[in-house]
A and B are shown apart, each in its own frame.
Chain A
Amino acid sequence: MKVKVSNKVLVYLGVVAITIIFIFPIYWMILTSIKPNEAILRLPPQFIPKGATLNNYKNIMGDGKFVVFYKNNVIVSTVTTLVTLVLAVFASYAFSRFRFRGSRFLQMLFLSTQMFPAMTLLIALYNMYFKLGLLNTYTALVLACSTNALPMSVWILKGFFDTIPKSLEEAAYIDGSSKANTLFRVILPLIRPGIIAVGIYSFLISWEDFLWGLTLVNKTEMRTLASGIAMTYLGEYNYDWGRVMASAVTAAVPILIIFIFLQKYIISGLTAGAVKE
Chain B
Amino acid sequence: MNARKKTKINWFMIILLAPALMLLSITIVVPVVTVIGMSFMRYNLMDINNIAWNNFQNYKDVLQDAQFFATFGRTLTYVVSTVCIQFIIGLTVAMLLNTRWLRGQKIFRGLLFLPWTIPSLVVAVVWMFTFQPQYGIVNYLFQLGNYSMLGNPGTAMLSVVISAVWKQMPLMMIMLLSGLQTVPEDLKEAASIDGATGWQKFHAITIPFIMPVIKTVTLTSIVSNFQMFVLFFTMTGGGPVRVTTTLPLYTYETAFSGFNMGKGAAVGVCWLGFLVIFSTVYNKVLAAKEVQY
A residues whose Cβ falls under 8 Å from a Cβ of B: 1, 3, 8, 11-12, 14-15, 18-19, 22-23, 25-26, 28-29, 32, 40-45, 83, 86-88, 90-91, 93-94, 97-98, 100, 106, 108-121, 123-125, 128, 143-144, 146-147, 150-152, 154-156, 158-160, 162-163, 165-167, 179-180, 193-194, 196-197, 200-201, 204, 207-211, 225-226, 229-230, 234, 239, 241, 244-245, 247-248, 251-252, 255-256, 259-260, 263, 266, 270, 275-276
Contact = CB atoms under 8 A, between A and B. Distances in A.
B232 to A, nearest CB: 12
B20 A90 contact: yes
A252 B119 CA distance: 9
Instruction: Report which residue of A8, A11, A19 has the largest number of chain B beta carbons within 10 angstroms of its beta carbon.
Output: A19
A14 B23 contact: no
The 3 A-B residue pairs whose C-beta atoms are closest, nearest first, are: A159-B212, A91-B20, A115-B275
A155 B178 CA distance: 14
B209 A163 contact: yes
A117 B261 CA distance: 12
B114 A155 contact: no
Contact of B261 (A8, A123, A166): A123
B182 A275 contact: yes
A276 to B, nearest CB: 5
Contacts of A120: 35, 251, 255, 261, 264-265, 267-268
A268 to B, nearest CB: 12
Contacts of A166: 293
B178 A113 contact: no
A248 B102 contact: no
Nearest to A24: B137
Contact of A19 (B32, B108, B181): B108
Contacts of A154: 20
Contacts of B26: 143
8 contacts: A94-B13, A111-B223, A112-B276, A118-B229, A150-B23, A156-B216, A158-B216, A248-B118
A42 B227 contact: no
Given A108-B279, A121-B32, A252-B118, 19 more contacts: A15-B96, A28-B126, A87-B20, A87-B23, A90-B20, A93-B16, A120-B35, A120-B261, A128-B30, A147-B23, A147-B28, A158-B212, A162-B290, A166-B293, A210-B120, A226-B119, A229-B119, A229-B121, A251-B117
Interface in B203-234: 209, 212-213, 215-217, 219-220, 223-224, 226-227, 229-230, 234
A204 B290 CA distance: 29
A17 B128 CA distance: 24
Given A120-B268, A156-B216, A45 B137 contact: yes
Nearest to A39: B135
B125 interface: yes
B46 interface: no
Secondary structure of the B side of the interface? helix
Interface string B93-115: 10011010110001011111111
B16 A90 contact: yes
A243 B35 CA distance: 39
Given A116-B271, A154-B20, A226-B121, A111 B130 contact: no
A25 B115 contact: yes
Contact of A244 (B108, B122, B248, B261): B122
A116 B99 CA distance: 40
Interface stretch (B152-160, B167-175, B235-243): B167-175
Contacts of B140: 43-45
A156 B220 contact: yes
B194 interface: no
B19 A90 contact: yes
Given A98-B13, A114-B227, A234 B125 contact: yes
Among A14, A91, A239, A251, max chain B CB count under 10 A is at A91
A120 B269 CA distance: 10
Given A25-B166, A94-B17, A263 B28 contact: no
Nearest to B102: A11
